[in-house]
Structure 1
Amino acid sequence: MNKAIIAFLIRSEYTFFVFLTMILLSFSIALFGLLISGAIKKKKIEL
């Protein structure tokens, strides 16, 4: 019984970790995209 509970906890922790990683990854990609678009806008203004 305990082994099953531990296995479930490990599995849920793993899925939570993957979920968190995906959220962080998408957030960082969005932030990177915003920075790039901001840099392009600044360059256009300078030109």
Structure 2
Amino acid sequence: MAECGCGRSPTGNCVGWHNLSEEQFLEKKAEYEAKQAAKKSDK
């Protein structure tokens, strides 16, 4: 994966979020953060 230049990627690698509207970006970011929190609570 290529490095993210837009600053929207939560991982530092491009995940294609640069084309999303601000609303879509915030939804994706919330989904990602919820998934990461769930992973941490499973451990």
User: How does the TM-score come out when normalised to structure 2?
Assistant: 0.53
Whichever structure has more helix as a proportion of its residues is 1
Stretches of structure 1 that go unaligned for 5 or more consecutive residues are 1-18, 43-47
Structure 1 runs, 4 residues or longer, greater than 2 Å off? none
Q: What residue in structure 1 maps to residue 35 of structure 2? A: 34
Structural RMSD (CA): 1.4
- After TM superposition, the structure 1 = structure 2 runs for residues 6-21 of structure 1, keeping only pairs within 5 Å, are 20-21=21-22
State the percentage of identical aligned residues.
Answer: 8
Stretches of structure 2 that go unaligned for 5 or more consecutive residues are 1-19
- Equivalent pairs counted in the alignment come to 24
Separation in structure 1 between the aligned mates of residue 26 and residue 40 of structure 2, nearest angstrom: 21
Query: RCO greater where, 1 or 2, for CA within 8 Å and sep 6 or more?
Result: 2
Aligned residue type for 2:32:
L
Structure 1 or 2, whichever has the larger Rg, is 1
User: How does the TM-score come out when normalised to structure 1?
Assistant: 0.48
